[in-house]
């Protein structure tokens, strides 16, 4: 279930609050400038092609492109049998920012976005049908877990410019990881 856990960065071992209410999650994230939506389910096989996925969500993707100026969309997918899964996970586990919005729509599976605002960290466990848009310059990190299983639509203004600029902060190592917050090993 989609979950938002809010942590005080000075007491990272336990969340201050937790909610699974989508309307409350949307409201709390909007207060921080984060877009959160839940799109209508499409009946797609787990091995659907990038083309089939983008066609299934054509209207939603087109609306986001028109509203936000995104130029391209693609699909990224990762499964537990990927031999590079540990390297992919490690790549995004440290706090970083981007020079453009990071937009992900979960077609299947789940992943955990951590968003760092002043003294608080919002951990958003995104699930199938969740869209999250992290504005450029927002300090964040992503944990896909030790056995990643997800497919996401990504939207870009400039895919070549989507590069992580790491902050050097160690906050990401202080908070509970995916295994604790998602309740899976």
C-alpha distances in Å from residue 48, one per residue of 35, 113, 152: 26, 24, 12
- Phi and psi at residue 124, to the nearest 5°: -110, 110
Measure the CA–CA gap between 124 and 15, rounded to whole angstroms. 12
Residue of 167, 120, 105, 108 whose CA lies nearest to 141: 167
Q: Which of 101, 115, 184, 121 is nearest to 150 (CA)?
A: 184
Burial of 53 (0-12, 13-18, 19+ CB in 10 A): buried
Query: pLDDT value at position 185?
Result: 39
Residue extents of the structural domains in the chain: 3-164
Residue-level pLDDT at 163? 81
**Domain 3-164, CATH:** 2.60.120.10
Q: What is the pLDDT of residue 138?
A: 97
Contacts 24+ apart (CB under 8 A), 176-182: 176/12, 176/13, 176/123, 177/143, 178/111, 178/112, 178/143, 178/144, 178/145, 178/146, 179/145, 179/146, 181/3, 181/5, 181/112, 181/123, 181/125, 182/110, 182/112, 182/125, 182/145
The pLDDT of residue 42 = 93
Q: Please give the average pLDDT of every successive group of 10 residues along the chain, which has 185 residues.
A: 96 95 98 97 92 98 96 95 96 94 96 97 98 97 97 87 86 95 69
- What is the reported pLDDT for 109? 96
pTM: 0.95
The two tokens of residue 163 are 């590069």
Residues in CB range of 70: below 8 A, 6 or more apart: 64, 103, 155, 156, 157
């Amino acid at each position: 279930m989609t979950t938002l856990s809010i942590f005080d960065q000075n007491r990272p071992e336990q969340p201050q609050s937790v909610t699974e209410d989508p309307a409350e999650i949307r409201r709390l994230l909007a207060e921080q400038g984060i877009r959160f939506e839940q799109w209508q389910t499409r009946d797609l096989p787990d091995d659907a092609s990038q083309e089939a996925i983008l066609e299934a969500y054509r209207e939603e993707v087109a609306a986001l492109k028109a509203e936000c100026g995104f130029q391209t969309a693609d699909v990224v997918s990762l499964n537990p049998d990927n031999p590079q899964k540990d390297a992919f996970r490690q790549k995004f586990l440290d706090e970083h920012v981007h020079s453009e919005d990071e937009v992900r729509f979960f077609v299947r599976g789940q992943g955990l976005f951590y968003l760092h605002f002043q003294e608080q960290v919002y951990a958003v466990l995104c699930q199938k049908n969740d869209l999250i848009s992290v504005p450029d310059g927002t300090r964040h990190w992503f944990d896909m877990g030790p056995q990643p299983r997800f497919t996401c639509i990504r939207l870009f203004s400039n895919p070549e410019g989507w590069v992580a600029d790491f902050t050097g902060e160690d906050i990401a190592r202080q908070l509970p990881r995916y295994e604790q917050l998602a309740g899976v090993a």
